[in-house]
Structure 1
Amino acid sequence: MNEHMEIDTPKKIIADNIQLWYNRGQKFFTKDGLRLLAKQLDKHKEQVLTGSVLHQTTIRGDNIQTILDIDEGIWKDLRCRHGERRDGLSIYYRPLHMMLSQRDMKFFDLQKAYLSTVIMRPHSHHHHPHHKPALLPPNFSPTELTHLFTSTQQRWETSEQHGYLKKLLTLHRRRLASVTKIVAFACGPLAEGDEASLTQHALVLSLQRIIGAIKEEGVESESESDDAEEEETMGLTQVLGEFWRVLRGEEREKGKGKGKGKEREEVKNEEEVRCFAQDPAYRPLDQEVLDGAGITVLEDPRAFLEVDDNAFVVSISPNAPVQQIVADLASPAAIIQLRTGAGADPVSPRVEEMLSGYMRLELIYHKGLGDVLLYIRREKPRREGTK
């Protein structure tokens, strides 16, 4: 026998199976599974879940039961900054590399190693050396926070970065006319007064207005593909320079006679584009202010149920593998996300395959957003059945 031959341990067999099924195209995250999980968590919150027992099906097809009121001690959360979850149970979405390595298991369980989503209890969140403790309670009143958010919106929408983004979206309006909703993940709690969180939510509302204006204006029948192909083949430096010259010139012209009429015209059709946001760190104050602004706050995992081929996804700094989940659920019309795909939201072969069908467009760095990219789907995907 070869002394160097690798032994097929249970962990290796599981990893090999997971990799095999993944390569064959099996979806590890499905809307049916997330919908069932959401219903059971709702019942548990209302104290009507029988025996507090959660029922799940693993990717191997096993039926698993978990008693939610007891910490089984199986899982550990290695994600940085997950201390933003204040209290109660939370969903931990296992990215592909964790399912393969099983590093997120304190105690190995042969069946539960095949789970793609697990439930974490509050004290299960302290296994990362850079863990961020829960932040102090908010000191803002609803009026004060609304004023702060409105001020951030005004600064964002008068910034050069916003103007450039608007030009890009307008250029590719033919591909964006089908968008019916903006779905945002992990934008952070407004109540901390954090510039990044405030700006990300301002971005969501600006996307609603821009897409609403595109839909209201309608799209001419002739194809814009020639313009898009030309823009894709140009060097990024040339693209940026070209748009900056146009932007500065047009903004100066618009500024000469700018009034409130144009703003009214742009937002008139907003109701056709809905906004959803999901972040386990939201507090009641965040929800109150966001509801007032026109953003519907959804409990985890319900925002994922809103992701479809007509969605515009915003996911800039999530603590979950949003890219991998989205790639299993749909091919959104557009995505805005960080350039890097490391940390809690890593890329995977399936994510790379999905994004290969998108135009990858550079955005101008903004301190409130970071180094983000815009992805716009080239063609509407063909679906074989439902997911």
Structure 2
Amino acid sequence: MSLRPLPDPPSPEWAPIVESIRKQYNEGLPFFNRALLQRVALQIHLYENGMLTNKPYAIENIRGDLVSLDIDPDTESPVFKDVRCNHGDRKNGPYIYYRSIQSMLTHRDMKQFDAEKAFLPLVVMFPSAAGRCHAHHVHESRSTSADDLQASILPTTFYPSELTTIFNLDRRAWEQSEQYAYLKGQLEAHSDRLSQIDSVVALGCGSLAHGRARCQFATTQHALAFSLRKVLSRMHPENSRVRQSLRQARKKEPVDLVVRGVLQDPAYTEVDEAVLSDMGMEIYKDPFGFLEMNDNSFVVSIDVNTPAQQIIENLARPAAIIRMTHVEELNGENVAQCTDPSSSRVNKMLLEEYDLVKLRYHEHLRHICLYIKKQKPEGKAGSNRASGSSSTKN
């Protein structure tokens, strides 16, 4: 399926640039690679520590050119605009704005034409209006005058102990659901392909609460990640029946959580991070969660507010992926407003390299599906995904 038609070009130079971008994408050039993400992360770190105050960011575009990008916390970018909804994932800056192939081809996120910057797959930005954000899917309840009086006395956010209790209730509800039982059965049925998984990487699961209102979409996604870690650890060779018996004899938990739990979401609050890290999960800042993905990871990426599907396709071939079910008019490659759209390369990867397992609808996960990597023929070497410069094909 071809990409949506381009809008009227802003300048005569635009058409050949678009065709160049399209050509490089169709040839398989990784627009997001590990070296690029590491370089940008380092520059953000230097800026946050006061060591990059008077120098522009240097970001490599897909042609291999280093592009200077000046950013100012008090001034909006003169070239780029972040067209996404703000779900709290850019409370402050600088932050990374990832450009999907759709944005690069239609230039809908550019305020003015700039031939050099048009080839950038990502940019560093500050929020255009700090604090202006909204959250979808927040669990709300009707309030009474007594509730309002109590709210005026209580703090504006949950204490970590409160949020831990709330999350554990939703976690228990998920693990008692028929949807989880069905998923668990499917994982066990494919244990031969999942037993070597070493990490569950969950991307953009959302903040557990907004103020003193919990978000059940976020708590259920995190509950899914926790349950995957437990089930996959039980399958791992380090948790053989003999080892489980030895652990029980020593009065330890029968299953050692050998599978790591990795979380990344710029929307996390300090309370979120405290709750989740105390429960054994590893919290990574953007882009380090992406960099933790490898071919033995199980990636959870459900309705993310960034082009995660395209980033995953560039960086790794995870052992398994849970994502939104593909619906062309919702998250297909021709949908203008989707923040995590598919693409021809994503579709090709999933079709040729993965087996699809349909999962059951859950009101707080909606229509999701499981992709399990196909077994490679013996003797066939694995691929080396996007580890070097974006100017070098992999």
Residue 189 of structure 2 aligns with which residue? Answer: 171
Paired residues of 1:53 and 1:68 also in contact (CA < 8 A): yes
Is residue 351 from structure 1 mapped to residue 371 from structure 2 by the alignment?
A: no
Paired residues of 1:209 and 1:267 also in contact (CA < 8 A): no
* Correspondence for 2:116 among 101, 111, 116: 111
* Correspondence for 1:147 among 153, 161, 165: 165
Which AA in structure 2 matches 1:53? P
Residue 368 of structure 2 aligns with which residue? Answer: 372
After TM superposition, where is structure 1 displaced by more than 4 Å over at least 4 residues in a row?
81-84, 134-138, 216-220, 264-267
Unpaired runs of 5+ in structure 1? 1-5, 221-260
Give deviations 1:76-98, integer Å, cap 9, x for gaps. 12223445422222211111111
1:178–1:105: structure 2 CA closer, same or farther, 3 Å change rule? same
Which AA in structure 2 matches 1:12? A
5 Å-filtered alignment, 1:1-387, equals 9-49=12-52, 51-69=54-72, 71-82=76-87, 84-123=89-128, 132-133=133-134, 139-192=157-210, 193-216=214-237, 268-270=255-257, 272-340=258-326, 341-342=331-332, 343-356=338-351, 357-380=353-376, 382-384=382-384, 387=387
RMSD: 2.6
Unpaired runs of 5+ in structure 2? 1-7, 139-154, 242-247, 333-337, 388-394
Paired residues of 2:239 and 2:255 also in contact (CA < 8 A): no
Give deviations 1:227-248, integer Å, cap 9, x for gaps. xxxxxxxxxxxxxxxxxxxxxx
Paired residues of 1:173 and 1:219 also in contact (CA < 8 A): no
Identity %: 39
Which AA in structure 1 matches 2:159? S
CA distance in 2, matches of 1:152, 1:217: 29
Distance apart, 1:190 and its partner CA: 0.9
1:169–1:147: structure 2 CA closer, same or farther, 3 Å change rule? same
1:125–1:351: structure 2 CA closer, same or farther, 3 Å change rule? farther
Residue 5 of structure 2 aligns with which residue? Answer: none
CA distance in 1, matches of 2:184, 2:135: 36
Paired residues of 1:77 and 1:125 also in contact (CA < 8 A): no
Q: Secondary structure at the match of 2:209?
A: helix
Residue 241 of structure 1 aligns with which residue? Answer: none
Distance apart, 1:216 and its partner CA: 4.2
Distance apart, 1:179 and its partner CA: 0.7
TM-score by length of structure 2 reads 0.79
Which AA in structure 2 matches 1:368? H
Distance apart, 1:157 and its partner CA: 0.7
Residue 251 of structure 1 aligns with which residue? Answer: none
Structure showing the higher helix proportion among its residues: 1
Q: Secondary structure at the match of 1:164?
A: helix
Q: Secondary structure at the match of 1:61?
A: coil
1:320–1:378: structure 2 CA closer, same or farther, 3 Å change rule? same
Paired residues of 1:55 and 1:63 also in contact (CA < 8 A): yes
Give deviations 1:94-143, integer Å, cap 9, x for gaps. 111110111110111110000001112111799xxxx9547999521110
Distance apart, 1:73 and its partner CA: 1.6
Q: Secondary structure at the match of 1:314?
A: strand
Q: Secondary structure at the match of 1:51?
A: coil
CA distance in 1, matches of 2:56, 2:253: 49
Distance apart, 1:48 and its partner CA: 1.4
Q: How many residues align?
A: 335
CA distance in 1, matches of 2:219, 2:203: 13
CA distance in 2, matches of 1:180, 1:269: 13
CA distance in 2, matches of 1:346, 1:21: 19
Paired residues of 1:279 and 1:299 also in contact (CA < 8 A): yes
Which AA in structure 1 matches 2:225? V
Paired residues of 2:206 and 2:265 also in contact (CA < 8 A): yes
Which AA in structure 1 matches 2:343? S
